[in-house]
């Protein structure tokens, strides 16, 4: 298995720059593993493939306004900051009752240690401290204890770099799922974009259980794979509540299918399994799923089309088989499906 096996050419015009006006009007490529067939549908048709009694598991994380624009204090050169998560080691503990002041982030361009960043019209400033043990830049906010309020006020939605435009007000809504609840992600669980509230109600009325887990999507989404054998996934926070684990365990025992909406929901479930049973809990996961992998919980997967040479594409290949995955992607490109975050979806049966 070589990294080049997970590369593919994609015409730039197939990279969706904006969402469709109606979420469930997106296209749906139906991939049947047993028959080896592909079918062209619309996402609203997914009801035809969801049997009563099955379990649909979604990730209810919510993206926060993690993109900040500032200037170098001395030269006024532009600095772009993508906040990832508060620094969690004991070197930088937040005072009790105060927001975390030290954050892991991505910086563009790279800065020198102790270089200061200012924000137009704001008293709060930031300083680049150093890189942590994973090589991730650390910045400290100074001038206010209300870091969260500052980020909410001046931050913007952190659209992925392949969307070649600045975020606008509409992205505040469209770059979230309709069921987003628990804030903490820097990228959205995009497979869930296609569900409307009405479609979810129709799923429930058909007799399926709709359940939620949480995984706050972090830097692992952005980091390219350069070495298949030694790639290290950065940890992301997750939570699987006891009632959810209990309902899924019951479904598995009764032979009902468990559907994961998105690779993030799948990773939570496959992280928390022990001897084919889910153990509830919360913590950090760095589970790297690549071929070959034995999936113990998830039977069916709803997902978008992913970038070449990424952990997401490797996961999908492990789930559906690499040859079938190649066949599906070639079909999607020939038939001009829309790719990536605001693009179309596939369901793997």
162, part of any domain = no
The token pair that represents 99 in the structure block:
């927001």
340, part of any domain = yes
DSSP, res 94? P
Answer for the pair 126, 139: CB distance below 8 angstroms, yes or no: yes
Q: Which of 154, 187, 203 is the last residue of a domain?
A: 154
Strands 209-215, 236-240: parallel, antiparallel or unpaired by DSSP?
antiparallel
CA–CA separation, 213 and 208 (whole Å): 16
The reported pLDDT for the residue numbered 35 is 96
Whether residues 107 and 253 fall in one domain: no
Q: Computed from CA positions of residues 43, 44, 48, 54, in that sequence, does the dihedral angle turn out positive or negative?
A: positive
- Which parts of the chain register pLDDT below 50? 90
Whether residues 176 and 313 fall in one domain: yes
199, part of any domain = yes
159, part of any domain = no
Answer for the pair 70, 143: CB distance below 8 angstroms, yes or no: no
Query: What is the pTM (predicted TM-score) of this model?
Result: 0.93
Q: For 130-160, what is each residue's pLDDT tens digit?
A: 998 888 899 999 998 889 899 999 999 999 9
The reported pLDDT for the residue numbered 224 is 80
What domain range is 205 assigned to? 3-63+169-348
- If one counts the domains in the chain, the total is 2
State in Å, rounded, how far the first CA of the chain is from the last one: 24
């Amino acid at each position: 298995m070589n990294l080049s096996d997970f590369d593919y050419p994609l015409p730039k015009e197939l990279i969706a720059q904006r969402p469709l006006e109606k979420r469930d009007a997106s296209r749906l490529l139906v991939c049947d593993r047993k028959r080896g067939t592909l079918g062209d549908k619309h996402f609203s048709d997914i009801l035809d493939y969801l049997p009563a009694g099955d379990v649909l598991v979604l990730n209810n994380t919510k993206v926060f306004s993690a993109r900040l624009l500032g200037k170098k204090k001395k030269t006024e050169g532009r600095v772009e900051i993508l906040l990832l998560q508060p620094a969690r080691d004991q070197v930088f503990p937040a005072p009790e009752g105060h927001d975390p002041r030290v954050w892991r982030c991505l910086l563009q361009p790279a800065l020198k240690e102790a270089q200061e960043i200012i924000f137009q019209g704001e008293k709060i400033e930031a300083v680049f401290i150093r890189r942590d043990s994973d090589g991730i830049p650390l910045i400290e906010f100074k001038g206010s204890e209300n870091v969260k309020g500052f980020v909410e006020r001046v931050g913007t939605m952190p659209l992925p770099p392949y969307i070649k435009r600045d975020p606008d007000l509409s992205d505040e809504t469209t770059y979230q799922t309709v069921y987003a609840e628990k804030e903490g992600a820097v990228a959205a669980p995009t497979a869930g974009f296609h569900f409307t509230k009405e479609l979810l109600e129709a799923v429930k009325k058909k007799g399926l259980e709709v359940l939620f887990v949480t995984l706050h999507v972090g830097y692992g989404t952005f980091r390219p794979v350069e070495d298949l054998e030694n790639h290290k996934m950065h940890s992301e926070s997750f939570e699987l509540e006891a009632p959810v684990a209990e309902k899924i365990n019951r479904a598995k025992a009764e032979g009902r299918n468990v559907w994961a909406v998105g690779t993030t929901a799948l990773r939570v479930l496959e992280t928390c399994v022990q001897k084919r049973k889910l153990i509830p809990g919360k913590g950090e996961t760095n589970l790297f799923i690549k071929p070959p992998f034995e999936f113990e919980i998830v039977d069916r997967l709803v997902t978008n089309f992913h970038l070449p040479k990424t952990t997401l594409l490797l996961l999908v290949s492990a789930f559906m088989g690499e040859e079938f995955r190649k066949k599906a992607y070639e079909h999607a490109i020939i038939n001009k499906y829309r790719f990536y975050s605001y693009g179309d979806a596939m369901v793997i049966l």
